[in-house]
Every structure is written in C-alpha cells, then in structure tokens.
Amino acid sequence: MTASPSPTPAPALWVLLDATAAALQAVRAGQSGTAALDTVDASLRPGVRALLFQALRHLGRAQALRRALAPRQPPARVDALLCTALALAWNPEQAPYAPFTLVSQAVEAAKRSPATRAQAGFVNACLRRFLRERDALVAATDRDEVALWNHPAWWIARLRRDHPWQWQQILQANNAQAPMALRVSKSKSTPAQYCQALAAINMEAYPDGDSGVVLRRPLPVAQLPGFADGVVSVQDAAAQMAAPLLLQGLDARQPLRLLDACAAPGGKTAHLLEWAQALGAPWQVTALEMDASRAARIHDTLRRLRLQADVRVADAGVPADWWDGQLFDAILLDAPCTASGIVRRHPDVRWLRRESDIAQLAVLQARLLGALWPLLKPGGRLLYCTCSVFRAEGQEQVQAFLAHNTDARLAPSPGHLLPANPDKAGALGDNAAGEHDGFFYALLHKAA
C-alpha cells in the first residue's frame, strides 16, 4: 500500500512578509498589484496576496508611522518591509496576527533577506519602538488626512469636491474588502437555484438583482458549482447592470447588431450573449480589444461559457481599421478610466494613479464617444460607462458630449453609483450594505 504524501508545511510568516515587502516595493515603483503578485512563487501567492492587499489598504497610515519612527527615508526595500509590518500591525483589532508576532517575524525577514540584512538592526529598533509607543504614535498620525483615510491627498480632495455629501462614505467603502459577486447564466439557472447549489456544499450566499449572487465568503472559482460548464461567472453587481440597461426595450425578434467597444476581459460581452441565448434572439455581437493578450481573455471567457462573438483586436477609436460600414443597433462603451470605483477589489489603484491621469483619460473617453456615435443607427442607443466615481469621467463627460451632439438624448440612467451610497436613485435593490463597486452609467439615445 502506497503511503499518502505528507501535507506541505505552511510557509513561515517571515517568508510571507519578505515576499509581501518585495511586492509592495514593486507597486510603489509603478507596477500593478497583479503584475507584482505574478512574480511571487505560486505556493506563497495566496498568503502574500492577502497580506499585500491589507497593507495597501492601510499604506497611508503605515507611511505616516514610518516617518514618525524614521524621518529620514531608508532604502526602498527596507522602507517597504517597515511599511508592510506597520500596515498589518498598527490596529490590533484588524491585524492578521498579533502585533508582537508581526514585528518579530518582520525583523526575522530583515535578518534573512540579502536585500535588508545590513539594515536589520534599524528595522528591529523602529518596530520595537512602535510596539512600546503604539498608542501615542497612532494618535499623532490621526492628524494626517492621508493616514486617516489611506488615500493620496489629491484623491481625497477630488472626492470631497465631486461628492461633498458622500466622500467619507466612499473612502470608508474603499478600505473594506469587497464581497465575491457572481452572475448566473440566464439560460442555465437562476440566482435562487444557484444559491441552493451553494448551500449543498455549505456555502452561504444570497440572490442580488436579476442574475446576481453574493457569497458570504469568497471561494476559488474551481470550486464553484457549474463554473467550468458556464453556469456562473464572477462579476460585480454594478457591472451586471450594463447588459440589461443597454438591451431594455430592444425587439429581441430582430437580427440586431451589437458592439462591445472595449470588451476585455469579456464579462459584459458574455452577459449580452447570455441574454440573447435566453431569449433565442438572432443577435450579432462584435467585441473589440486593442491589446492582443487581453483579447485572448475574451476568447477564454466565451469558450468556457460556450458563447460566440466576433472578437477583433482593434482600437475602437479608429473605425476605419475594423468597421464594415453597417450601423449598429446598440453600442456598449465601457471606457478606459482611472478605475477609482473598484478600489475595494484593487487597493493598489489609489497609489498608482496620478491626478493628471483623470484629464488624460477624459480626453480618451471623449475621443471614443466621438468615434463611435456615428456608427450608431438613428433610433439606436449607446451605453457609456466607467468604473469610476470621478465626475470628470462620468457626469461631466456626458454633459460635454450632449452639448456637442444635438441628436443625442440622455435616457433615464443610474448616473454615478457610489460604493457606499445605496440610496442613490437607480442603485441596485437590496443594497443596504453597498454591495457593489463604484460605477457610472449614461444611456444615450440617438434621434430617429
């Protein structure tokens, strides 16, 4: 009889902290959190991801504490290790391990890593002082707005201007962990049925909206019932609004031409096709993505869901390169943006963005709107959306478009959906806990 293999021992905490500090250093150097985690050993990645995301959610506080402990900035890797430990340990109620354990293991990481070994004594002195004076240090950093809200100063000021009544709620929501939300394929199941399938494997969930399900705790996609068979997809509740908003009022019996102009990774394209499949509608869906590697993800998404679309690698803003001259009945433009509405899921975004990005992206959004509007049939509709809470990428962008296009009319639309504003007109139902990301939606009708 063959002996079963012994379980792989869990990695030491100092190993995880060292890898987390390396990832944080990469993010501070301008790399996305996803790219930084891709370089981490697969056996460490789940633990490092959890620690990195928590560190990023408390980085403003950690940086203020590090400055109080060491006004002169240390080398980048040493600074990253200090900020990692301080971000994880400053609040004992939220710390993943006891603060004393985090400090001792961070010091161990400093001793063992060639990148920090020479500064191990400095790391030890700073973190031991933090343990002794934690309450006084935290109280002193409370006066620092960046430490208090864990967002860059310009981001806080922009939200205060754009949303004077909700800016604090938005920042608080951004610092929380987002729930895992799913979209159930309309032709294969219902939210209620899928919740029963989850209950059968002891997973708590509840229906949310027309096709949504929210898990009480996250689950690897491979363990989701029916995931491999296309029964369900991972998609936030706010993003699930796109397909029904665009399709409402269209005659499903007609052979409609639909365009998803910035389609990767394919979630909204798939949702459009699931509606067509459920209705037995003869619709043609074209999906564009200018980056070939991201376009491959659309193919992967559609393959798993057993759906078909005309996927093209092309710039939606240059129709001469891809358009066949036939007008579309409906266009979905999920435009490139700052991603300021999905900070709960991507806590690195707030530290990677610069305020100048907003104006640059607004120019790109306006270019895409201007290029795609002539491709729409009279009487057709274009749904403009961004996963942003900044008005320059939402309300102000659409107002400028309407001022320059007299054949466009703004239909009733949700407008800005804020992650902590469940009372917003047009927000999703049963949203008392703000269970969706920040988004903007504007449905534009073209005069017949």
User: Among residues 83, 126, 195, 387, which one is catalytic?
Assistant: 387
Do the Cβ atoms of 431 and 206 come closer than 8 Å? Answer: no
Catalytic site includes residue 262: no
Q: Which residue is listed with tokens 């400055």?
A: 67
One-letter-per-residue 3-state SS of the chain: CCCCCCCCCCCCHHHHHHHHHHHHHHHHCCCCHHHHHHCCCCCCHHHHHHHHHHHHHCHHHHHHHHHHHCCCCCCHHHHHHHHHHHHHHCCCCCCCCCHHHHHHHHHHHHHHCCCCHHHHHHHHHHHHHHHHHHHHHHHHHCCCHHHHHCCCHHHHHHHHHHCCCCHHHHHHHHCCCCCCEEEECCCCCCHHHHHHHHHCCCCCEEEECCCEEEECCCCCHHHCCCCCCCCEEECCCCHHHHHHHHHCCCCCCCCCEEEECCCCCCHHHHHHHHHHHHHCCCCEEEEEECCHHHHHHHHHHHHHHCCCCEEEECCCCCHHHCCCCCCEEEEEEECCCCCCCCCCCCCCHHHHCCCHHHHHHHHHHHHHHHHHHHHEEEEEEEEEEECCCCHHHCHHHHHHHHHHCCCEEECCCCEEECCCCCCCCCCCCCCCCCCCCCEEEEEEEECC
Which sequence positions are flagged as catalytic?
387
